Structure 1
Amino acid sequence: MDTLGLSGAATSSGDAVLSFRDLSVTFRTEFGDVHAVRGLDLDVRPGEVVALVGESGSGKSVTSTSALGLLPGNARVTGAIRVAGKDIGSLDGSGLRALRGNDVAMVFQEPMTALNPVLTIGDQLTEALALHDVAHGRQATARAAGLLRRVGVPEPERRLRQYPHELSGGQRQRVVIAMAISCEPAVIIADEPTTALDVTVQAEILDLLRSLTRDLGTAILLITHNLGVVADLADRVAVMLAGNIVETGTVDQVLGRPRHEYTRTLLAAVPRLGAGPGGSGAVRPAAPSSSGDETPAQAPAQAPALDLRNLVIEYRRAGRRAFRAVDDVSFQVAPGEVVGLVGESGSGKSTIARCALGLIPVRSGAVSVLGTDLRAARGRRLKELRRRIGVVLQDPAASLDPRFPVGDVVAEPLVVHRAGDARSRRAQVLELLDAVELPREVRNRYPHELSGGQRQRVGIARALALGPELLVADEPTSALDVSVQAGVLQLITSLQERYRFACLFVSHDLAVVDQLADRVVVLRDGRIVEQGPREDVLHAPRADYTKRLLAAVPVPDPAEQRRRRAPRDATRRPPA
Structure 2
Amino acid sequence: MNASTTTAAPVLSFRDLKVSFDTEFGSVDAVKGLSLDVHAGEVVALVGESGSGKSVTSTAAMGLLPANAHITGSASVVGHDVVSMAPEAVRKLRATEVAMVFQEPMTALNPVLTVEKQMTEALELHGMAYGAEAKKRAIELLELVGLPDPARRIKQYPHQFSGGQRQRIVIAMAISCDPKVIIADEPTTALDVTVQAEILDLLRRLKDELGTGILLITHSMGVVADLADRVAVMYRGNLVETGAAGEVLTQPEHPYTKKLLDAVPKLSEVREEESVQAEQDDATATGRRLVLEARDLVLEYDMRGKKFRAVEGVSFDLASNEILGIVGESGSGKSTVAKAVLGLLPVADGTLAVRGTDLAQLSPRKAREVRKKIGVVFQDPAASLNPRFPIGDCIIEPMIIHKVGNRKERQARAAELLDAVRMPRSVLNRYPHELSGGQRQRISIARALTLKPELLIADEPTSALDVSVQASVLAMIGELQEEYEFACLFVSHDLAVVDMLASHVVVMQNGKTVEQGPTRRVLHHPQQDYTKRLIAAAPVPIPDEQRDRREARRQLLKEQGFTLD
TM-score class, shorter-chain normalisation, is 0.7 to 0.9
Deviates more, 1:342-351 or 1:42-51: 342-351
Corresponding residue SS for 1:101: coil
**Which of 504, 511, 515 is the equivalent residue of 1:519?**
504
Q: In the alignment, which residue of structure 1 is the partner of 2:468?
A: 483
Task: Map residues 113-512 of structure 1 onto 2, 5 A cutoff.
Answer: 113-114=107-108, 128=122, 131-132=125-126, 161=156, 164=159, 173-174=167-168, 176-274=170-268, 293-296=285-288, 302=289, 304-318=290-304, 322-396=307-381, 398-401=383-386, 409-410=394-395, 412-418=397-403, 456-457=441-442, 459-512=444-497
Distance (whole Å) between structure 2 residues aligned to residue 184 and residue 214 of structure 1: 14
The amino acid that maps onto 1:332 is D
Corresponding residue SS for 1:206: helix
Q: In the alignment, which residue of structure 1 is the partner of 2:275?
A: none
**Which of 20, 35, 40 is the equivalent residue of 2:29?**
35
Distance (whole Å) between structure 2 residues aligned to residue 393 and residue 263 of structure 1: 29
Deviates more, 1:89-98 or 1:306-315: 89-98
The amino acid that maps onto 1:15 is A
Distance (whole Å) between structure 2 residues aligned to residue 401 and residue 130 of structure 1: 43
Q: Using a 3 Å threshold, how does the CA distance of structure 1 residues 176 and 352 change in structure 2: closer, same or farther?
A: farther
Corresponding residue SS for 2:465: coil
Give the CA deviation at 1:49: 0.6
Q: Is the 8 A contact 1:145 1:160 kept in 2?
A: no
Give the CA deviation at 1:391: 2.1
Distance (whole Å) between structure 1 residues aligned to residue 423 and residue 118 of structure 2: 36
Q: Using a 3 Å threshold, how does the CA distance of structure 1 residues 231 and 367 change in structure 2: closer, same or farther?
A: same
Corresponding residue SS for 2:208: helix
Deviates more, 1:36-45 or 1:343-352: 343-352
Aligned length: 550
Distance (whole Å) between structure 2 residues aligned to residue 322 and residue 272 of structure 1: 40
Corresponding residue SS for 2:471: helix
Q: Using a 3 Å threshold, how does the CA distance of structure 1 residues 364 and 94 change in structure 2: closer, same or farther?
A: farther
Q: Is the 8 A contact 1:28 1:34 kept in 2?
A: yes
Q: Is the 8 A contact 2:158 2:166 kept in 1?
A: no
Q: Using a 3 Å threshold, how does the CA distance of structure 1 residues 323 and 79 change in structure 2: closer, same or farther?
A: same
Distance (whole Å) between structure 1 residues aligned to residue 483 and residue 137 of structure 2: 55
Distance (whole Å) between structure 1 residues aligned to residue 512 and residue 495 of structure 2: 18
Q: In the alignment, which residue of structure 2 is the partner of 1:280?
A: none
Deviates more, 1:423-432 or 1:505-514: 423-432
The amino acid that maps onto 2:521 is D
Distance (whole Å) between structure 2 residues aligned to residue 414 and residue 173 of structure 1: 42
The amino acid that maps onto 1:295 is G
Q: Is the 8 A contact 2:537 2:553 kept in 1?
A: no
Q: Is the 8 A contact 1:24 1:78 kept in 2?
A: yes
Q: Using a 3 Å threshold, how does the CA distance of structure 1 residues 22 and 401 change in structure 2: closer, same or farther?
A: farther
TM-score of the pair, normalised by structure 2: 0.83
RMSD: 4.0
Q: Using a 3 Å threshold, how does the CA distance of structure 1 residues 146 and 517 change in structure 2: closer, same or farther?
A: farther
Q: In the alignment, which residue of structure 2 is the partner of 1:5?
A: none
Q: Using a 3 Å threshold, how does the CA distance of structure 1 residues 340 and 141 change in structure 2: closer, same or farther?
A: farther
Residue deviations 1:302-334 (CA, integer Å, cap 9, x gap): 4x3322222223344348x65432222111222
Give the CA deviation at 1:19: 1.6
Q: Is the 8 A contact 2:112 2:157 kept in 1?
A: no
Unaligned runs of 5+ in 1: 1-7, 278-285, 297-301
Give the CA deviation at 1:551: 1.9
Give the CA deviation at 1:207: 0.4
Structure 2 residue 564 is the aligned partner of structure 1 residue 564: no
Distance (whole Å) between structure 2 residues aligned to residue 326 and residue 537 of structure 1: 21
Corresponding residue SS for 1:252: helix
Q: Using a 3 Å threshold, how does the CA distance of structure 1 residues 312 and 535 change in structure 2: closer, same or farther?
A: same
Q: Is the 8 A contact 1:173 1:197 kept in 2?
A: no
Give the CA deviation at 1:290: 7.9
Distance (whole Å) between structure 2 residues aligned to residue 146 and residue 361 of structure 1: 44
Distance (whole Å) between structure 2 residues aligned to residue 121 and residue 446 of structure 1: 40
Q: Using a 3 Å threshold, how does the CA distance of structure 1 residues 361 and 66 change in structure 2: closer, same or farther?
A: farther
Distance (whole Å) between structure 2 residues aligned to residue 159 and residue 411 of structure 1: 49
Residue deviations 1:188-210 (CA, integer Å, cap 9, x gap): 22222221222222111110010
TM-score of the pair, normalised by structure 1: 0.82
Corresponding residue SS for 1:359: coil
**Which of 27, 34, 39 is the equivalent residue of 1:45?**
39
Residue deviations 1:469-525 (CA, integer Å, cap 9, x gap): 222112111122222211111100000111111111111111111100010101112
Structure 2 residue 14 is the aligned partner of structure 1 residue 20: yes
Q: Is the 8 A contact 1:276 1:514 kept in 2?
A: no
Q: Is the 8 A contact 1:107 1:189 kept in 2?
A: yes
Distance (whole Å) between structure 2 residues aligned to residue 342 and residue 437 of structure 1: 29
Corresponding residue SS for 1:56: coil
Structure 2 residue 76 is the aligned partner of structure 1 residue 90: no
Q: Using a 3 Å threshold, how does the CA distance of structure 1 residues 21 and 548 change in structure 2: closer, same or farther?
A: same
Unaligned runs of 5+ in 2: 272-277
Distance (whole Å) between structure 1 residues aligned to residue 541 and residue 411 of structure 2: 41
**Which of 34, 57, 61 is the equivalent residue of 1:63?**
57
Structure 2 residue 97 is the aligned partner of structure 1 residue 103: yes
Q: Using a 3 Å threshold, how does the CA distance of structure 1 residues 161 and 363 change in structure 2: closer, same or farther?
A: farther
Give the CA deviation at 1:13: 10
Q: In the alignment, which residue of structure 1 is the partner of 2:274?
A: none
The amino acid that maps onto 1:497 is E
Distance (whole Å) between structure 2 residues aligned to residue 563 and residue 259 of structure 1: 25
Residue deviations 1:10-68 (CA, integer Å, cap 9, x gap): 9x996222222111222222333322221111111121111111122222222222222
Q: Using a 3 Å threshold, how does the CA distance of structure 1 residues 372 and 187 change in structure 2: closer, same or farther?
A: farther
